[in-house]
């Protein structure tokens, strides 16, 4: 496991009490001076303002690079060792965690158990707000116990405003059970103390619509989660060059076509020949590539991939050194 220093964590009682304090000092709750005339602006003016504020988000995410890179390493290491990644959030934060988790299996053919999402209020909170669920600290801790989180797992708490009791309690329970914990918030550490092994702060500032963290904070969260899950999957060998090579090529016509085109691009074969090679590999893009480039049978290619934990580059170039993670 990459070295991950344990940070001091607030007690579960302290975390659960955070929501009772006034929150007006938090960045996500402050008013944006530029939008104080929002209700009297023309639609075109308001659009320009929102678009201008959204343009700041990538810089805010970039400023958190060091901790985002640490998160990628921790997630990749855990998954490679058979652990799981759990996103935990409420409201918009929870829904974004669910979205990222749901998109991993079709994109990377990862097991649905590898990346999971926990949202305060359960499945009904995906389509309708369940007010008050975010304040239920006991439910957050209970869900971590129900999922049998352990020392091989990573629990990733998402709370743009930083104070969600459900998330803090889930992180505290995960830490108690030996899991690696990651926290993502859009407020400063000074205003909300560190609560995890890896503490990501993406400071997007006040929202155009005061307190509506589904806007800039939500966009920043999606950018961070996409980056972390994608780069973790790259580390796990789900990608070769910049192409998806671990996908369910028999799931639908789109994926059959994508898999065939990937094989054609990386082998120089015609589309039809690539499709026939893919059929011989039983739909496995990685297997097809190794079969072609190393002139191996399907069982031999599958064995070669197992030796390098599914990394195509290492299977095609066995003497190549691994990149520094």
CA distance 302 to 106: 21
Structure tokens at 106: 């079709």
Q: Report yes or no: 228 and 67 within 8 Å, Cβ to Cβ.
A: no
Q: Which of 255, 167, 191, 207 is nearest to 29 (CA)?
A: 207
242: part of which helix (H) or strand (E)?
Answer: none
Contact 182, 74 (CB under 8 A): yes
Report residue 147: phi and psi, to 5°.
-80, 0
| Residue 2, both tokens | 């990459």
Phi-psi region of 11 (alpha: psi -120 to 50; beta: other; left: phi over 0): beta
CA angle 121, 107, 103 (to 5 degrees): 10
Contact 183, 168 (CB under 8 A): no
Which one from 3, 29, 103, 302 is the annotated catalytic residue?
103
The single residue of 3, 113, 134, 173 carrying the catalytic annotation is: 134
Beta strand pairing status for 85-89 and 239-240? unpaired
Tell me whether residue 131 is one of the annotated catalytic residues.
no
Helices 253-267 and 285-294, axial angle in degrees (round to 10): 20
134 is catalytic: yes
Instruction: Report the catalytic residues.
Output: 103, 134
């Amino acid at each position: 496991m990459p070295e991950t220093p344990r940070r001091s964590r607030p007690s579960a009682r302290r975390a659960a009490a955070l929501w009772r304090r006034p929150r007006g000092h938090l960045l996500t709750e402050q008013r944006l001076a530029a939008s104080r005339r929002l209700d009297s602006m023309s639609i075109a003016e308001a659009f320009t303002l929102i678009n201008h504020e959204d343009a700041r988000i990538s810089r805010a995410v970039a400023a958190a690079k060091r901790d985002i890179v640490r998160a990628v390493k921790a997630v990749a290491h855990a998954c490679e060792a058979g652990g799981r990644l759990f996103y935990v959030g409420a409201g918009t934060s929870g829904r974004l965690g669910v979205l990222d988790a749901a998109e991993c299996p079709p994109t990377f053919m990862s097991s649905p158990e590898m990346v999971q999402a926990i949202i305060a209020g359960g499945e009904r909170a995906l389509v309708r707000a369940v007010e008050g669920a975010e304040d239920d600290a006991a439910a957050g801790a209970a869900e971590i116990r129900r999922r049998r989180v352990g020392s091989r797992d990573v629990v990733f708490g998402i709370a743009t405003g930083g104070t969600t009791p459900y998330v803090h309690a889930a992180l505290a329970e995960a830490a108690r059970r030996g899991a690696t914990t990651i926290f993502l918030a859009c407020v400063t550490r000074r205003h909300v103390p560190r609560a995890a092994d890896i503490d990501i702060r993406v400071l997007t500032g006040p929202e155009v619509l005061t307190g509506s963290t589904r806007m800039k904070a939500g966009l920043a969260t999606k950018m961070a989660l996409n980056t972390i899950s994608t780069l973790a999957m790259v580390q796990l060998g789900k990608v070769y060059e910049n192409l998806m090579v671990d996908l369910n090529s028999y799931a639908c016509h789109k994926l059959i076509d994508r898999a065939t085109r990937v094989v054609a691009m990386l082998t120089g074969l015609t589309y039809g020949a690539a499709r026939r090679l893919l059929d011989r590999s039983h739909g496995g893009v990685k297997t097809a590539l190794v079969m072609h480039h190393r002139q191996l049978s399907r069982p031999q290619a599958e064995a070669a991939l197992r030796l390098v934990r599914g990394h195509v580059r290492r299977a095609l170039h066995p003497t190549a050194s691994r990149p520094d993670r």
